[in-house]
Structure 1
């Protein structure tokens, strides 16, 4: 048992015994009934009249159980009934409850990054598996699901996960609040947590956040409730880790001590944008602050980031929670202001942190108030944010729409098929010389299946995973199409010796086709583990090259990884005919990969990350937070938006078994914006030698953005012989010459299925402010005049854009 768990158990026993001693009217039966609610869910909700009767309490005496009253009134009544000691016991991840008023314990911590997970500190996390619920559907890790570039899929996966979460809650095996998704932008290709994220583009990351959160949270028919603080919720989601968090443990620099030095420009343009979208468009119920400092201040104690921005500017309808033990990290690791525990707790409460994943609030909030370091009203405000969310979740009144969900809704055939489809849609075809793929099951009778991931199971589900319903390994999947000859080739992903390469070569020389499964796993890239290079570990590259040299039939390399890998040698090797990236494809990964390899599914995924050459890691340290090149230090830019060097495969790359062409149908390519007397031109810095308009830009906050839309209508034609899905990617490049502007930036994307020989018309709505805005050095969001150009795909279709500002009538 961990020290933290021992403390929490002891505190709970002390708290309950203290209540019993000080409240003679609370009998042992009350405490027993209180415990039963949490352990077996004999009651569907807190304010069940029979529950209060069993507790020896009259429910009519408790206004917080009067559903005819507003949530504000009910929550205030609940808070006002608590003593300061009792309030302090509710603002840690384990809320201990108040038995004397019928308030039960609640565990805030559950995870659902790509399926309901049991990850968390023992005794603190609400979700768990046993004989009653032996597992839950494990979808592909986020980086692969993102590669589908399919917003509808992202939301559908969220809906399936929340259905399983609600079913597990009904069975007493999960909470109602899930601290997912992770929406940090992958600024550096070495970051170990890339698998958890939607990639390197802040717009894509934000779009994923909005759709996945809506899938988790939305109750059909109530999405547009007038008062969003009373909008019903299926489960509560949490967008994390806020903000500028993307260094875990790199050459001795760890996330607990790292001070991210970030410009206002990068903060607004990259690090904050997904969180703003998550709050404003996704209406998420929670934001989690990160361990690191930003410009010298711990994020969980920064009122500018929390109270002013998340709560104030973005208008969060929910609560703000710390990453686990962040206050302890702030106090003992970072030694922030040389605080005592009561000081640190006061700093966090004043900054707007409602919930401490840890025990510092529970231990020291009471004494912090009594020492005069923080007002009790700050705790009351935190409790209001927390219990309003639980009201919306039906914790107090029940949720009839979801109360019939149970064991048959977890690991259903429908959800397992959705996990398979998510993997299929995300898989990216990187190389396909001479149309080697798909393989023909009529011609290929024997298959050499080789490599450290050939028989992968747990490696396919990555981190923040629970117990999957089942596994379909690559061997299992490919066995449906031919006789498999399996050789490890390596003694594991680290592949520390070459003794198993020769048996793999022998198998490849005698079979009709060879498929090599290589890549990374959690021993190479993970939370608290960043990479130091971008290469395949150990002898994996040698295994690939030597097997390919002697293979009798076509050679296919399948890479399982989250981050990019420098496989230039394989890309350029004529003996290697095809390369597939399969990410970490979830419990049905082997099924999905086999479907792609043998043509049951035509791949359409695109890379959500740039795959850099290994030399990139020697050009700049992970700790440099700048996105733009730093010429004085020789640092290149980061992500496709600012890096203009050579790559292994660029962001957005992906092949198909068919071909697509684009042509415009009808496109408005000019925005005329009328300015009134109160809207003024703003300056923009241009590089020497470039034309600078008389009115370079306008502050976006001064515009009525909803009236400045542009519809892009194009026809997508499938000119090949196979049905296939294409991801139409729309980029915008601003007016030439603006200093430090992105090379290009993605402003819209849409996945569309097109039958062979057919075409589909597609309409994309572009908002002038959101799509064509830039951020200047001061962090101001500006709309530049001039316009630049729109590119569809990799320059397959280019449309000039003109943005003009006028005064007076147009």
Structure 2
């Protein structure tokens, strides 16, 4: 929204929206100096005041709602959205997200005539990496393990974000992370993925290809890892040969944040000698925009002859095209998206959609003896578990901030107003001890107000006038991941903080002080240093027990110094006691049913995290078992003899084989967003008939996965990227719960399907007509799944999803579902072409409501 006086009075041709975009780009390119161009090639794009070009922050997030930008509607985490298998509703959801995005941009630009981080129109969403291994902590951000499902939902997300206007995009979407990227988190800056080109083309690339060719995604983010020895952001195969070559992609490539710094740091990739060679190589491989600051060295690259100004201009054309596509340099009145009012943010319509998607995402995995739905007149419900009353857990990662959250406990209380609800947290998610927070025992100073005093400085040395002083009454939890401000007037780098308070001990014994920071800190009690962390990479314990006397006051002070890019400061004070399983059992034994809300938490699984818990490393899992303390509590609850319903909150899959005997029903609710608790209660009560399907395989245990992985890779276990033995497409054993599985309160019977032809040419569409009957007494929704098996080809997947459709089927009614399989359905890797090609031969078409072949029917097909 260029600040020009009128639409008819343009100082420069590039400001005229009526001119062709290419002409505007060339005009502006000719006006910019080299320094100005370089300043616009990083995520924090520098303003060019003489040309009326504002500063702009390219970095924004909208994984399942506008993130990190104040109040926004928070839909279920991406893996939960995938479990809906509902492309039309997914598109509608992202149309709402982009409405909120435009409204926020309009407001922020009107107020400041510039946009900073998390205020712009360029969203680094969706994450379409393949969730190849349940140990990956960021798998929750994806659409699961299947390329076709991922592509279908990914294209819908892109179209919802970018809009359908012929001239202006509503926002930019971004396909990330390109490519062969799905953990581990702890070594992503140094990991070199080496896989067959068959796996590359059949598994890791199809979703990216779909978003580029079908979705017209305007940005692609290159990944941290290397592929075949070259970092992804300067990779010949990925960027030059495939993306820009075979796919002829004309949009922007943006680096993952500070990925270029990994090129020249010896402890990471170390493939380049210095910053100037790194910047030059990334630019020549068509990484146009850097998230980071290595491109500040492009002047040195020019001076050394490593690049020319023409190289800069190639990337600048794509960057400037983005400015014009979004209308950011045009008069406000010329872009109709600018009329979206701020009232759409957190609107009633969007809240209803958040609830609908949470309902659709829930997967009923087990329902022995039809324990669910619960009787509406039930007398007593015991709600137990660490996730029952945890609203933050429901938000997942890369989340926004909703105006309100309904927890599972809240939802059950509201849904069953006449029942007695017994609530017992029972345990933490992974800690074998129970914790009782003691934060309420703090005063900011003697005779001060409740809470701790927090003083921030815009320097590393606690000097000068504080940038911000406040009293935090709720608890200490500050995080600047991605550049979020810690507090008003506080910078994003080189900060320090003093967090202090007077603690009055409520008992005699050990009080646990638990600081956790991303950098350097020192912890004092009554002026005595009791803990210190000397650097960002220093290993340190997370808990410090201090013997205290009941009623005595202690002066506590935590001093934090920022050394890295991000700031993370938490400080917990609590009492730890052994979990008394028998006591929990005793308190709930008289309930008619026990609802156990457990699983995992985004505080344990996610992006490159500092986690000190058994079974977790760097944001990933080292075990796929349910945390031991929860397994033990479930076993204790089983001893009551009462029905146990396990409400599983998770962003991945777990190996639950050893726990199956301890619950009657298993309800997978993922991280359900702001309305997750209401959705859970609706399903428990039978007011919503569950219809979600698994987008990932639930293996019986880790051994079932690892024992079948390829042994030819130099990497083993989680670090092995070969697809052999992984996911339903290559797994030959029976898992605990298969991809595509999901029960209902209705019963669906599949009739005999028909193909429009039994023999087709390779370039023809194939139509399959599937009759589905709901034989139950209640309306329901079913997802009809179509799989293709290439016969007599041992290198092809066991089967692969090629079509699906969610359909509503009223009670005691039949519906005929017609689906189309495109010629792409019969394309597989060919070594001579080094690409996917149509493969003639014998095929089996499988159809039903699961990927488990025992639950599928089949038809034979010949492809010429």
What TM-score do the two structures reach when normalised by structure 2? Answer: 0.77
Q: Secondary structure at the match of 2:339?
A: coil
The residue that corresponds to 1:791 in the other structure is 846
Looking at structure 2, the residues matched to 383 and 461 of structure 1 have their Cα atoms a distance apart, in angstroms, of: 37
The residue that corresponds to 2:691 in the other structure is 604
Residue pair 1:279, 1:314 contacting (<8 A) in 2 also: yes
The residue that corresponds to 2:703 in the other structure is 615
The residue that corresponds to 1:729 in the other structure is 785
Looking at structure 2, the residues matched to 715 and 388 of structure 1 have their Cα atoms a distance apart, in angstroms, of: 48
Alpha-carbon offset, residue 305 of structure 1? 1.4
Correspondence for 1:759 among 790, 809, 814: 814
Deviations along 1:519-567, whole A, 9 cap, x unmatched? 011233211221101111131011111112215x422111111111122
Correspondence for 2:343 among 408, 413, 428: 408
RMSD: 1.8
User: Is residue 161 of structure 2 the alignment partner of residue 216 of structure 1?
Assistant: yes
User: Is residue 419 of structure 2 the alignment partner of residue 478 of structure 1?
Assistant: no
User: Is residue 634 of structure 2 the alignment partner of residue 569 of structure 1?
Assistant: no
Looking at structure 2, the residues matched to 199 and 381 of structure 1 have their Cα atoms a distance apart, in angstroms, of: 35
Looking at structure 1, the residues matched to 748 and 34 of structure 2 have their Cα atoms a distance apart, in angstroms, of: 65
| Alpha-carbon distance change, 352 to 338 in structure 1, aligned in 2, over 3 angstroms | closer
Correspondence for 1:647 among 727, 731, 735: 735
Looking at structure 1, the residues matched to 698 and 863 of structure 2 have their Cα atoms a distance apart, in angstroms, of: 38
Alpha-carbon offset, residue 651 of structure 1? 0.9
The residue that corresponds to 1:199 in the other structure is 144
Looking at structure 2, the residues matched to 745 and 112 of structure 1 have their Cα atoms a distance apart, in angstroms, of: 29
Residue pair 2:432, 2:579 contacting (<8 A) in 1 also: no
User: Is residue 25 of structure 2 the alignment partner of residue 48 of structure 1?
Assistant: no
Correspondence for 1:289 among 190, 197, 222: 222
Looking at structure 1, the residues matched to 44 and 345 of structure 2 have their Cα atoms a distance apart, in angstroms, of: 26
Deviations along 1:377-416, whole A, 9 cap, x unmatched? 1211211111211211111223542223233110011111
The residue that corresponds to 2:21 in the other structure is 71
The residue that corresponds to 2:827 in the other structure is 773
The residue that corresponds to 1:593 in the other structure is 680
Looking at structure 2, the residues matched to 767 and 581 of structure 1 have their Cα atoms a distance apart, in angstroms, of: 32
Deviations along 1:445-491, whole A, 9 cap, x unmatched? 22110000010201111110121221000111000213321101103
Alpha-carbon offset, residue 495 of structure 1? 3.9
Looking at structure 1, the residues matched to 431 and 739 of structure 2 have their Cα atoms a distance apart, in angstroms, of: 27
Alpha-carbon offset, residue 186 of structure 1? 0.9
After the TM superposition, which residues 527-566 of structure 1 pair with which residues of structure 2 at under 5 Å, given as runs? 527-528=607-608, 529-551=619-641, 553-566=642-655
Looking at structure 1, the residues matched to 187 and 673 of structure 2 have their Cα atoms a distance apart, in angstroms, of: 29
User: Is residue 376 of structure 2 the alignment partner of residue 441 of structure 1?
Assistant: yes
Q: Secondary structure at the match of 2:29?
A: helix
Q: Secondary structure at the match of 1:550?
A: coil
Residue pair 1:115, 1:137 contacting (<8 A) in 2 also: yes
Q: Secondary structure at the match of 2:168?
A: coil
Looking at structure 2, the residues matched to 408 and 802 of structure 1 have their Cα atoms a distance apart, in angstroms, of: 53
Looking at structure 1, the residues matched to 184 and 654 of structure 2 have their Cα atoms a distance apart, in angstroms, of: 19
Residue pair 2:845, 2:861 contacting (<8 A) in 1 also: no
User: Is residue 49 of structure 2 the alignment partner of residue 99 of structure 1?
Assistant: yes
Looking at structure 2, the residues matched to 724 and 639 of structure 1 have their Cα atoms a distance apart, in angstroms, of: 28
Looking at structure 2, the residues matched to 146 and 622 of structure 1 have their Cα atoms a distance apart, in angstroms, of: 23
Looking at structure 2, the residues matched to 773 and 409 of structure 1 have their Cα atoms a distance apart, in angstroms, of: 43
Alpha-carbon offset, residue 297 of structure 1? 0.6
Q: Secondary structure at the match of 2:784?
A: strand
The residue that corresponds to 1:39 in the other structure is none
Looking at structure 2, the residues matched to 60 and 425 of structure 1 have their Cα atoms a distance apart, in angstroms, of: 51
Looking at structure 2, the residues matched to 587 and 264 of structure 1 have their Cα atoms a distance apart, in angstroms, of: 41
Residue pair 1:137, 1:410 contacting (<8 A) in 2 also: yes
Please say which of residues 319-328 and 396-405 is displaced more in the overlay.
Answer: 396-405
Alpha-carbon offset, residue 79 of structure 1? 1.4
| Alpha-carbon distance change, 780 to 96 in structure 1, aligned in 2, over 3 angstroms | closer
Looking at structure 2, the residues matched to 447 and 71 of structure 1 have their Cα atoms a distance apart, in angstroms, of: 63
After the TM superposition, which residues 242-641 of structure 1 pair with which residues of structure 2 at under 5 Å, given as runs? 242-249=178-185, 254-332=187-265, 333-361=267-295, 363-397=296-330, 398=332, 400-442=335-377, 444-480=378-414, 481=416, 482-496=419-433, 499-528=579-608, 529-551=619-641, 553-573=642-662, 576-612=663-699, 613-616=701-704, 618-619=706-707, 620-628=716-724, 637-641=725-729
Deviations along 1:325-355, whole A, 9 cap, x unmatched? 1111111144544422111111011001000
User: Is residue 736 of structure 2 the alignment partner of residue 656 of structure 1?
Assistant: no
Residue pair 1:279, 1:315 contacting (<8 A) in 2 also: no
Alpha-carbon offset, residue 618 of structure 1? 4.9
| Alpha-carbon distance change, 187 to 492 in structure 1, aligned in 2, over 3 angstroms | closer
Alpha-carbon offset, residue 759 of structure 1? 1.7
Alpha-carbon offset, residue 603 of structure 1? 0.4
Alpha-carbon offset, residue 59 of structure 1? 5.0
Task: Report how many residues are paired.
Answer: 682
User: Is residue 47 of structure 2 the alignment partner of residue 114 of structure 1?
Assistant: no
| Alpha-carbon distance change, 672 to 589 in structure 1, aligned in 2, over 3 angstroms | closer
Residue pair 1:216, 1:237 contacting (<8 A) in 2 also: yes
Looking at structure 2, the residues matched to 309 and 179 of structure 1 have their Cα atoms a distance apart, in angstroms, of: 21
The residue that corresponds to 1:15 in the other structure is none
Looking at structure 1, the residues matched to 733 and 119 of structure 2 have their Cα atoms a distance apart, in angstroms, of: 47
Structure 1 residues not aligned, in runs of 5+ = 1-44, 53-57, 119-127, 130-134, 226-230, 629-636, 674-702, 806-810
Q: Secondary structure at the match of 1:198?
A: coil
Residue pair 1:493, 1:521 contacting (<8 A) in 2 also: no
Looking at structure 2, the residues matched to 366 and 59 of structure 1 have their Cα atoms a distance apart, in angstroms, of: 35
The residue that corresponds to 2:177 in the other structure is 241
Residue pair 1:240, 1:290 contacting (<8 A) in 2 also: yes
Looking at structure 1, the residues matched to 210 and 16 of structure 2 have their Cα atoms a distance apart, in angstroms, of: 35
Q: Secondary structure at the match of 1:254?
A: coil
Looking at structure 1, the residues matched to 774 and 861 of structure 2 have their Cα atoms a distance apart, in angstroms, of: 30
Structure 2 residues not aligned, in runs of 5+ = 109-117, 435-577, 609-618, 708-715
Alpha-carbon offset, residue 510 of structure 1? 1.8
Looking at structure 1, the residues matched to 412 and 179 of structure 2 have their Cα atoms a distance apart, in angstroms, of: 42
